[in-house]
A and B are shown apart, each in its own frame.
Chain A
């Protein structure tokens, strides 16, 4: 659980996206693309899920990438090389189903791009043709372009402000691609509004869509139901039934609301600790 390496991927206006390489031979030897870990920064901390971005079996390390968005990720960002996490458990959840689909489009937005990377590599390894669309607010915030470039056959960058790649949403590019060619699978991770739009486009072009969900979790072993989501009207637990689901069936509105259930406390604890 010791942090072997810390890399600040970017730092925009004080909000950092950080990569931590953490020693855990057991997790590294077992983890597959699409799985996640639960961690606690210290003994008073929350348990939060983070997707495994990379695993290095020979070094016995796992890599996590996160944005300093809330209290716990900010606390995590304060740790340095040599520090240890209080708790780290994994690999959790089902791995992404890796097989030869044919032509696959990966759509990643924001820090969700980090979660696309292991899936891109695994799908590529399984002989798929990979087209990647990355979306970011601006050039500075874009992450892992180089890594994803080498894991893809084609890559398209979309920025909200047009400061890099093309101006527009990932779904603009997605539509363009789907209207020209046939694809066998879309895999998407990013902010909920983006994934919602990706699903709408996939429906329009009748293409299979998998999404990885970021629900709130406590134990992440199927015991609390905090992460429950409705998929095709059935209640599923993201932690043990997911985190990948058929995007066409996800009740996004419910998920969006459930993810905000502690927004008041989150604000409170952030203010409290930033004041002190």
Chain B
């Protein structure tokens, strides 16, 4: 008889909406053992093909069944630098769990029966973190004479820096904000990725000798050319996709209409939910609308809801999306969590115009109803507006979460850096080298808005090329 999946413990919805503590509590040892024992240890483990970095999932789960958690941790670390982070933020239901043998054929995402690989990864990752397990350091003297500049301290930058540092390369990471972590800090709320998990990884890199330089915007205070002149042998760009898209509709600049990045940055990076103890304000809505269907939409909806709860307001936050739930790009778990917490959803709704009051604050959103038409270039069915379907929603705060584009400051300052029509940096897909020799790139600045693990995959590739080239240089 098939064993039932082990549910992960979570903070109860009515309690967790009043704070920013982590929602998913993770597996206990006993739960992890039970879940791991469900794995069939397939002869041909297709789950591995679903992992963007090819973690030996079969092997690490086997180690868990043998209670050899250290071996499980190191198995993951062979491919994934940040198991505790990825175990929390990977869209596993579209990756490894979708290719798990337990997922029904033709299902759009993982079946419930699929092994909870992400929770097991998180368990192993946290074991490593709690027991201070580092990765094996293979520092080689030959590399210590090289210095590499990593621009951006998000997932791609952190991963590339770690890979280089453990070989003995000297790495400086430049970050324009006052805190490190990039989107992991300013974007993902602490109830999904607690700061101590992120800080552990960053502190570990510091122990490896990585030097973090915050408050330093490459492209303004230093150019790429100047970095080379300063003696950096190679440069890695992990600039990220942080430029917010707007709807381009009337009234969008009214007060209390936030881009998702502004809203999340205020609350996460600047701790505006603790105003006035922290001095950055954020406004709190009574009728909050979130426009979009991705992870950032779910994050901002759940943040807005928490702000309502903390400030004693009735919970009233609605996500409006122009397609239906099936087409939503957000992780299924986030949609579930959002729903449990009381977020409302309005599907097949297209915003048309914001209407404000005298003082310039948003008051209503005029919308149109849509139906699904033929699939578009993304493969998802295109929303088609229904004529004469106009209606209004009350709205005193709105977050626009309809996508993020490549960061432009460094790109604009570097005309010789070739970009594509999305302004993403063009790289060789094997070496990850850009149009400038010795300059590599990875993460969202290359692929557009993607996942943490994809960013890491690219950063690893780049670090391999950098190491190869430095070895050759060393021999010269």
Binding site for B on A (CB under 8 A): 1, 26-27, 30, 40, 44-47, 71-72, 75, 86-92, 218-219, 221-226, 228-230, 235, 240, 253-254, 257-258, 260-262, 265-266, 268-269, 272-273
By a CB distance below 8 angstroms, the chain A residues around B256 are: 261
Q: Which of B233-257 contact A (CB under 8 A)?
A: 242-244, 246, 252-253, 255-256
A222 touches B243 (CB 8 A): yes
Q: Is the CB of B255 within 8 A of A225?
A: no
Given contacts A44-B277, A261-B256, contact A92 B271 (CB under 8 A): no
CB-CB < 8 A to B255: which residues of A?
Answer: 257-258, 260-261
Q: Residue of A at shortest CB range from B242?
A: A223
B324 within 8 A of A: no
CB distance A222 to B409 under 8 Å?
yes
Q: Is B107 an interface position by the 8 A CB rule?
A: no
In whole angstroms, how far apart are the Cα atoms of A274 and B277 in the complex?
A: 14
* Segment touching A, from B52-60, B215-223, B326-334: B215-223
Contact A268 B276 (CB under 8 A): yes
| Min distance, Cβ A244 to any Cβ of chain B, angstroms | 16
Q: How far is the CA of A90 from the CA of B215 in the complex (A)?
A: 8
Interface pair A265/B276, CB less than 8 Å apart: yes
Assess whether B178 is interfacial by the CB under 8 Å rule. yes
CB distance from A36 to the nearest CB of B (A): 11
Residue of A45, A72, A222, A253 contacting most chain B CB atoms (<10 Å): A222
B residues less than 8 Å from A226 (CB atoms): 258-259, 262
Known: A26-B222, A87-B178, A91-B220. A224 touches B359 (CB 8 A): no
Q: Which residues of B contact A26 (CB under 8 A)?
A: 216, 221-222
**Does B261 belong to the interface (CB within 8 Å)?**
yes
CA distance A72 to B270 in the complex (A): 14
Residues of B within 8 A of A218 (CB): 262, 265-266, 270, 280
Tally inter-chain residue pairs, CB-CB below 8 A: 124
Contacts of B243 in A (CB 8 A): 222-223
Task: Given A89-B215, A221-B407, A257-B255, decide whether A269 and B244 contact each other with a Cβ distance below 8 A.
Answer: no
Chain B interfacial residues counted at CB < 8 A: 41
B176 interfacial contact with A, CB 8 Å: yes
Q: Which of B216, B217, B253, B270 contacts A258 (CB 8 A)?
A: B253
- Give the residues from 177 to 204 in chain B that come closer than 8 angstroms, CB to CB, to chain A: 177-178, 186
Known: A46-B270, A86-B178, A219-B265. A27 touches B221 (CB 8 A): yes
| B108 on the A face (CB < 8 A) | no
Q: Establish whether residues B221 and A90, one from each chain, have CB atoms under 8 Å apart when the complex forms.
A: yes
Residues of A within 8 Å of B259, CB to CB, are 224-226
Q: Within the assembled complex, what's the spacing in Å between the Cα atoms of A268 and B259?
A: 25
**In this assembly, does B474 line the interface, its C-beta being within 8 Å of a C-beta of chain A?**
no
A19 to B165, CA, bound (A): 42
Cβ–Cβ < 8 Å partners of A72 in chain B:
279
- Besides A218-B270, A221-B242, A240-B409, 4 new A-B residue pairs in contact (Cβ under 8 A), listed by A number: A87-B178, A219-B261, A223-B407, A224-B244
The answer to whether A47 touches B280, judged by C-beta atoms less than 8 angstroms apart, is yes
Q: In the bound complex, do residue A44 and residue B278 qualify as a contact, i.e. CB atoms below 8 Å apart? A: yes
> Which B positions have Cβ atoms within 8 angstroms of A?
176-178, 186, 214-217, 220-222, 242-244, 246, 252-253, 255-256, 258-259, 261-262, 265-266, 270-271, 275-281, 283, 359-361, 407-409
Contact of B176 among A30, A89, A229 (CB under 8 A): A89
**With A87-B215, A89-B176, A221-B217 in contact, do A45 and B279 touch (Cβ < 8 Å)?**
yes
A135 to B294, CA, bound (A): 50
Contact of B275 (CB < 8 Å), options: A222, A254, A257, A265: A265
Contacts of A223 in B (CB 8 A): 186, 242-244, 261, 265, 407
Q: Known contacts A222-B242, A254-B360, A262-B283: does B220 contact A92 (CB below 8 Å)? A: yes
Q: Which partner residue on chain B sits nearest A229 by CB separation?
A: B253
**Neighbouring A residues of B176 by C-beta, 8 Å:** 89, 219, 221
A47 with B270: CB separation less than 8 A: yes
Report how far A189 CA is from B459 CA in the complex, Å. 44
Whether B283 lies near A261 (C-beta < 8 A) is: yes
Asked whether, in the complex, the Cβ of B244 is within 8 Å of the Cβ of A44, the reply is no
Could you tell me the distance between the alpha carbons of A266 and B359 in the complex, rounded to whole angstroms?
17
Please name all residues of chain B whose beta carbon is closer than 8 Å to the beta carbon of A262 when the two chains form the complex: 281, 283
Whole-angstrom CA separation of A226 from B360 in the bound complex? 15
* A16 CB, nearest partner CB in chain B, Å: 20
- Name the B residues within 8 Å of A46 (CB-CB): 270, 279-281
Report how far A218 CA is from B242 CA in the complex, Å.
13
Q: Which listed residue (A219, A229, A230) contacts B177, Cβ 8 A?
A: A219
Q: Considering the chains assembled together, what is the distance between the CA atoms of A90 and B283 in angstroms?
A: 27
Write the nearest CB–CB distance from B13 to chain A, whole angstroms: 29
A257, closest chain B residue (CB): B360
